[in-house]
Structure 1
Amino acid sequence: MTTLAVPLAAVPRHRNMIAGGLAVGIVLVLAALAPWITPYDPVRLFTGHELSPPGPQFLLGTDALGRDVLSRVVVACRNAVQVDVLGVAVGALIGSVIGLLIGYFGGWLDNVVMRLTDIAFGFPEIIVGIVVVALTRPGLGAITWAIAAFNVPTFVRIMRGCALQLRNRPFVDAAVAAGLRDREIIARHVLPNSLPMFVIQVGLALPDAVLLDAGLSFIGLGAPPPAPTLGGMLSEASAVLDATWLAIVPGAALCLFVMGLNLLADGVRDVLDPGGR
């Protein structure tokens, strides 16, 4: 049985992974089909239907301005998926390249970069996000860069550790003896053997990205109104205490997404790194 077949064969035994995959799949389907399944324009105002409770016309009710909550939460899920996945991808790419290079070559640059990452780890996630957004301007693009900036030091440290372990392995020594150049060794040997840790870290980074996105949007640093975001909808709901559906609907979507990502990440970690349990 191949190395790939072993993890795939173990997937059915991890119920948490399956449950997380289903939860994440629901959010991804909503995000992908948002233009076709939203009953109304998410920014359309229905005058005279402000704060309408869930009913036949508005399945999940309307907000204080008369906007359909179902349409807004579906589009908000789509925005969250796009921003969070892109932010983690950018941070993972930049951090992994830096980590692999400094871990493989070492030297003074390794010491400098690691001291900078130590400093970066001293700042809470939300502070990093606020600083990045303040340097640009509130919006989905700023949140994407905030998520990327927070994830770069983590991926630098993870991939550097992988490179440090792998550069002294016998197959790397054999590649050097065979005359392969450093970039070929990194591409053919170091990078492929680092992918399990890379995948695990991506899975762990995504739930944090969703929460950072929601937190920044909640305090008004996300996409400017009237663009719907899960954090922005929760912030608007906090001003209308008697319309409970305004908080329950986006809150349930946020919980489903984060819980699903956490369960899926735990399952992937158990499959790819059984010893980590």
Structure 2
Amino acid sequence: MNLSSDPAVSSAASGAIRSPWHDFIHTFLANPVALVSGGFILLLVLVAVFAPWLAPWDPMTPDWMALSAPLSTAHWMGTDDLGRDVMSRIIYGARISLYIGVLSVTLGMLAGVALGLLAGYYGRWVDMLIMRGSDVLFAFPGMLLAIAVVAILGPGLNNVIIAVAVFSVPVFARIVRASTLALKQTAYVEAVRCAGAPDRIVLLRHILPGTLSNVIVYFTMRIGTSILTAAGLSFIGLGPEPDVPEWGNILAMSRNMMMAGLWHVSVFPGLAIFVTVLAFNLLGDALRDALDPKLET
């Protein structure tokens, strides 16, 4: 009997060479929501990188002949009350908003992952101290905590990044702590510890990789939340300087124009924030489906 012609043997042989990376790519590419959201985010990144070449006008230079101008061939999204091109300011705003979102979440992730590993691995007073500190931060709504941090440090781009990073730390710490508590009880981690490996090796080589799937999913979703929070801080005057072309600043500058019927100055930056946050949330859901083997059908 030719075993190579047996469907069961062929299926087993083909399954033996499949890797987790192959399964992730296959599941991710089979999800149309993942492709659409990922494609939009990739396009947004390209727009941010090539903003100086894509923007039709200088975002800081006013057109004195087109103050508060509606949509036209010269200004596709109109101008604000100072004659600055709205489309150019939104394009440059993508660069600033992505910078705030990615950098703030990265800082919060690094601090949260480190604290979560220590709390879950060592337990006892270390766990109690870190988790009670997280509970204190959880007691504040995220936006209120960010406002408090900016009120202490003062408005500005760097302080907004710090404020958004602070309220990201406790969630990352909770996620990593839960994964660490489960992973440190596994047989392979117990074997490594019994072999005399130092705690640093156990944490970084054997526990940390097992927490990355949850961290990646939440990291992606948190970028959208951070962009929205930064825009909210800018809208109430606690963000970067008012002339900086950031999406929240553009919305704040358009408040008076909305009452005059000039809808375009507020609608387009609002849509940019809405679609970007939605894309990051959908991409996070798609990554969760692709990275979690328990959800595989």
Deviations 1:124-153 (A, max 9, x none): 111111111111121111111111101000
- 1:196 matched residue in structure 2: 213
Pairs within 5 Å for 1:13-32: 13-32=30-49
Which of 257, 260, 272 does residue 276 from structure 2 map onto?
A: 257
- 2:263 matched residue in structure 1: 244
- 1:164 matched residue in structure 2: 181
| 1:145 matches 2:162 | yes
Pairs within 5 Å for 1:34-73: 34-73=51-90
Q: Is contact 2:254–2:266 with CA below 8 Å preserved after alignment? A: yes
- 1:76 matched residue in structure 2: 93
* Between 18-27 and 161-170, the greater mean CA deviation after superposition: 18-27
Q: Structure 1 pair 276/211, CA: closer, same or farther in 2 (3 Å)?
A: farther
Q: Is contact 1:19–1:263 with CA below 8 Å preserved after alignment? A: no
Q: Is contact 2:220–2:281 with CA below 8 Å preserved after alignment? A: yes
Which of 118, 130, 135 does residue 147 from structure 2 map onto?
A: 130
Q: Is contact 1:39–1:71 with CA below 8 Å preserved after alignment? A: yes
TM-score by length of 2: 0.90
In structure 2, what is the Cα distance between the partners aligned to 1:218 and 1:276? 39
Q: Is contact 2:155–2:240 with CA below 8 Å preserved after alignment? A: yes
AA partner of residue 147 (structure 1): V
AA partner of residue 70 (structure 1): M
* Identical columns (%): 35
Q: Is contact 2:221–2:283 with CA below 8 Å preserved after alignment? A: no
RMSD: 1.3
* Between 206-215 and 22-31, the greater mean CA deviation after superposition: 22-31
Which of 217, 225, 239 does residue 208 from structure 1 map onto?
A: 225
AA partner of residue 84 (structure 2): R
Quote how far apart the aligned CAs of 1:76 are. 0.8
Question: Can you give the 5+ residue segments of structure 1 that lack an aligned partner in the other structure?
Answer: none
| 1:106 matches 2:110 | no
In structure 1, what is the Cα distance between the partners aligned to 2:285 and 2:240? 30
In structure 2, what is the Cα distance between the partners aligned to 1:275 and 1:178? 31
Question: Can you give the 5+ residue segments of structure 2 that lack an aligned partner in the other structure?
Answer: 1-17
Quote how far apart the aligned CAs of 1:73 are. 0.6
AA partner of residue 230 (structure 2): D
Which of 193, 197, 200 does residue 183 from structure 1 map onto?
A: 200
Quote how far apart the aligned CAs of 1:276 are. 5.5
Runs of 4+ in 1 over 2 A off after TM superposition: 274-277
Quote how far apart the aligned CAs of 1:274 are. 4.6
Secondary structure at the counterpart of residue 256 of structure 2: coil
Q: Is contact 2:118–2:126 with CA below 8 Å preserved after alignment? A: no
Quick check: which has more Rg, 1 or 2?
A: 2
In structure 2, what is the Cα distance between the partners aligned to 1:266 and 1:150? 21
In structure 1, what is the Cα distance between the partners aligned to 2:57 and 2:32? 37
